[in-house]
Amino acid sequence: MDYLQGLNYSQQEAVKQTEGPVMIVAGAGSGKTRVITYRVAHLVRKNVDPFNILVLTFTNKAAKEMRERITKVVGAEAKNIWMGTFHSVFAKILRVEAAKIGYPGNFTIYDTDDSKSLLRAILKEQQLDDKLYNANFVYNRISSAKNNLISPAEYLNNEHIQAEDFSSGRGKLGELYQLYAARCFKAGAMDFDDLLFKTNVLLREHPETLYKYQNKFKYLMVDEYQDTNFSQYLIVKKLAAIHENICVVGDDAQSIYAFRGANIQNILNFEKDYPDLKVFKLEQNYRSTQNIVNVANSIIANNKNQLKKTVYSENETGDKIKVVRAFSDNEEGKIVAEAIVQDRSVKGLKYHDFAILYRTNAQSRAMEEALRKLNVPYKIYGGLSFYQRKEIKDLIAYFRLTFNPNDEEAIKRVINYPRRGIGDTSVERIIIAADQHQLTLWEVIADAHKYLDSRTAGAIANFGTLVQSFPVLAKTHTAYDAALHIAQHSGLLKDLHEDKSVEGLSRYENIQELLNGIKEFSEREDIENKGLDIFMQDVALLTNDDNDKNPNADTVSLMTIHSAKGLEFQQVFVVGLEENLFPSQMSLNSRTDLEEERRLFYVAITRAEKKLTLCYATSRYRWGTLTSCEPSRFIDEIDPKYLELDFKQPQKPSGNPFFDDERAAWSGKPSPAKEDTFGKPKPAAMAKTTSILPKAHVPSPGFAASDTSDLQVGMEVEHERFGFGKVISLEGNKPDIKATIFFKELGQKQLLLKFAKLRIV
């Protein structure tokens, strides 16, 4: 029992309670993995046969780590424990039992690409409109049905589902599901979702098999139980039905995967399934400072739907949590990058001690560019680098062709994307003709009717005409206007907009983010040439990949908050904390969705060990329009005593008419109660505290720049982003006059008049 000495009292009690139903509510950083490890080891030490123990996890990494720790305690017997992810464990069972449900034991497991490839073939055979029946959308629809244990026959016979499909113009979805399932079965293949779906079928239709595994797995443990879906829940419940020696471990406050089908009610209602349940709460956080834990607690307290616990830390109090205001997403990136460089130098930290977390993948662009400019090495986790994503590379390939039509790689990439009837055979004919006549691919394309037969020349000539139209516009328009024109007329924007799958929406958002970056470039006041060719030169430098692919390299980690779950870093920056971004706009119409967004914020906060910084921008570009942003309600839900505002609040000097008391003050008191999204009054404690953070400047109606050729010292002016101010001094000669302006909200700034776009008040 010496291995128990390193555990606190609550951990020890949870480990020793091996019989009957147990729920371990494990707060962030509370030593959850250690408790699971020692609980399994304790069972083996009590002479439970390892073959009778089943441990289910959500990642192979977690299973491997647990097995290694258990081996150190109990030795070689650890290899006999049934331990792994849901999918790996039940695939193993299905290999043995497959014949009972009509599959061969050596069935193939299709990955996502295999599944989508099959669906594309079926859609082509059925001659369906690929805009309505996009393979990604159909795949996600089938996946959702399987996770809810809806078979093809049940799907077709469900009036509600059929009505929903027909109302969206996709009445064939049920038939496609049926065809897809039949083709998989004929090929002796299961997709990823089938591994759980077919296990449920096996246990439901073959009681003797269910009984066999109920008696085999006398002790069950499930990690991250809050992330289980209906299919997983049902399997676990069936297997534990005889002995009821089931232990689930999780934290409802970290349930963030509803979009994958996870059901938080599985953990919230666990006691209803097992009235004799014993609950153990792991509430001591060993990871974070007291201030970080207090902030996390103050946030999650706003959720009504939760298992109550009091997480605490006995670590150092630590720094207050910084709240940083930026005036744009690019400035936000600059502030974060500079803070990393400074703290690394002053505190002797490594780059891998820092993480930047964001709500959506598209937000990585500004962060990446800022880090690159300061030569800070970084790595994108849970996704590709922004400029390496397919949709970004596709649009940039069109930009490359605009300025260099002989770029063969760009031609090959986009000549048939979006689809325009130029297949691989046609491309091969272009290559052959170019070789025969000693020409570039572009020269053949530009004179297609001369070098190619009439069957293929038409579509190729049209592509050539399209590309030839782009340089004319690029020479006379700003980078943004040219980029938007190319995105629209190439058909790329339309293609992505019509893909309504989760992946399609993400790709569409990424293109929006690229165009936002180009828009900001087009409006920079420090450069004169704002053409797309200059932007492309900058991008070429930004996307020059580092050849060092060492996975252990010292790099800053960039990732979405969903990807960060389970990780920890000394310093964490949570960026983009603005209404409609985090929380996301789609979450604001439902209390359930808003509570999940709040849990996501809780997860972000609790990744930090020593220092946490929260960032927001007062403006972002959305489809080329500069949009004012409001700080996230989540910032206002934090007890102000734990916060440090990392920007100077303007104070009202005596006799200065430019300051507004209401916007300058920071009382830290909650605002009067407002209505929530359901039309009911909010409690004062949950009301939006608009006085904590200053609002972004909203330009005056009909804002238009004035002629500033006769601007004088003392004049009052308005800037689209910086707000109202007074001209303090003017220096230099026309056309390069610089104006020093004192802005009410920002203080003193120096602007080049010919680029400043000021409105004289």
Contact present, 57 and 68 (Cβ < 8 Å): no
Q: How much of the chain is in helix, strand and coil states, percent to nearest 5?
A: 50, 15, 35
Over residues 267-311, the pLDDT tens digits come to 999 999 999 999 999 999 999 999 999 999 999 999 998 898 999
Q: What percent of the chain has pLDDT over 90?
A: 48
Residue 16 assigned ligand-binding role: no
Give the pLDDT confidence score for residue 78 in this predicted structure: 83
pLDDT value at position 683?
37
296 is in an annotated binding site: no
Model confidence at 608: pLDDT above 90:
yes
Cβ proximity of 555 and 351 under 8 Å: yes
397 and 381, same structural domain?
Answer: no
Residue 343: closest CA among 646, 611, 561: 611
141 vs 520 pLDDT, higher one: 141
Residue 665 reports pLDDT greater than 50? no
Q: Is the pLDDT of residue 488 over 90?
A: yes
Does the pLDDT value for residue 576 go beyond 60? yes
d(CA 563, CA 601): 13
Q: Are residues 81 and 177 in the same domain?
A: no
Does residue 398 belong to any structural domain of this protein?
yes
What CATH number did the domain enclosing 459 receive? 1.10.486.10
Asked if omega into 275 is within 30° of 0 (cis), the reply is: no
Q: Which residues contact 746 (CB under 8 A, 6 or more apart)?
A: 327, 722, 723, 725
CATH of the domain at 754: 2.40.10
> Residue 42 above 50 pLDDT?
yes
pLDDT band at residue 201, thresholds of 50, 70 and 90?
A: very high
Residue 333 included in any domain: yes
Q: What is the model's pLDDT at position 735?
A: 77
C-alpha 146/C-alpha 134 separation (Å) is 19
Section 216-229 average pLDDT: 94
Distance of CA 610 to the CA centre of its chain: 24
The pLDDT of residue 749:
79
Question: Does the residue 687 lie in any domain?
Answer: no
**Residue 436, both tokens:** 């025969």
Taking only the tens place, the pLDDT of each residue in 703-737 is 888 988 889 888 999 988 788 889 988 888 887 78
The answer to whether residue 553 is domain-embedded is yes
538 and 564, same domain (yes or no) = no
Q: Quick one: 454 and 502 in the same domain?
A: yes
One domain, residues 607 and 633: yes
Q: Is there a single domain that holds both residue 376 and residue 390?
A: no
Which residue in this structure is represented by tokens 């979009």?
259
Residue 504 known to bind ligand: no
167 carries a ligand binding annotation: no
Please state the φ and ψ torsions of residue 221, each to the nearest 5 degrees. -130, 135
- DSSP assignment of 547-585 equals S---TT---EEEEEHHHHTT--EEEEEE---BTBBTTBG
Residue 711 φ/ψ, nearest 5 degrees? -60, 140
pLDDT tens by residue, 46-69: 889 999 999 999 887 888 888 888
pLDDT in tens, 309-364: 999 999 999 999 999 999 889 899 999 999 999 999 999 999 999 999 999 888 88
The per-residue pLDDT for range 143-163, each reduced to its tens digit, is: 999 999 999 999 999 989 999
Residue 520 lies in a domain: yes
pLDDT in tens, 388-413: 788 998 999 899 889 888 877 888 88
pLDDT at 623: 67
Can you give the CATH number for the domain in which 26 is found?
A: 3.40.50.300
Please indicate, yes or no, if residue 470 is contained in any of the structural domains.
yes
Of 645, 674, 709, the residue that ends a domain is 645
What amino acid is encoded at 80 in this protein? Answer: N
Which helix (DSSP H) or strand (DSSP E) does residue 622 occupy? Answer: strand 619-622
Look at residues 187, 221, 243 and tell me which one is the last residue of a structural domain.
187
State whether 419 and 524 are in the same domain.
yes
One domain for residues 409 and 535:
yes
29 is in an annotated binding site: yes
Asked if residue 302 is part of any domain, the answer here is: no
Is 655 flagged in the annotation as binding? no
Q: What is the pLDDT of residue 551?
A: 53
Residue 654 included in any domain:
no
Domain identity same for 474 and 595 = no
**54 and 118 within one domain:** no
What is the secondary structure of 445-492 as a DSSP string? HHTHHHHS-HHHHHHHHHHHHHHHHHHHHHHHS-HHHHHHHHHHHTSH
Tell whether residue 606 is among the known ligand binding residues: no
747 labeled binding residue: no
Strands (E), 14-147: 22-26, 53-57, 82-85, 108-110
pLDDT of 249? 94
Q: What is the pLDDT of residue 552?
A: 66
Most confident of 133-142, 312-321, 539-548: 312-321
Strands 723-731 and 716-719: antiparallel
With a pLDDT cut of 70, the percent of the chain lying above it is 89
pLDDT tens-digit map of 80-101:
899 888 888 898 899 899 999 9
DSSP state of 53: E
Confidence of residue 647 (pLDDT cuts 50, 70, 90): low
Greater confidence (448 vs 589) lies with 448
pLDDT grade for 547, boundaries at 50, 70 and 90: very low
Q: Which of 2-11, 209-218, 490-499, 562-571 has the highest mean pLDDT?
A: 209-218
Among residues 187, 215, 244, the one where a domain terminates is 187
- The pLDDT score that the predictor gives to residue 599 is 94
Q: Are residues 409 and 527 in the same domain?
A: yes
Same domain for 170 and 43: no
* Domain limits for position 630: 312-385+549-645
Phi, psi at 291, each rounded to 5°: -65, -40
Burial class (CB in 10 A: 0-12, 13-18, 19+), 151: middle
Total of domains in the chain: 5
Q: What residues are annotated to the active site?
A: 32-33, 223-224, 254, 607
Q: How confident is the model at residue 265 (pLDDT cuts 50, 70, 90)?
A: very high
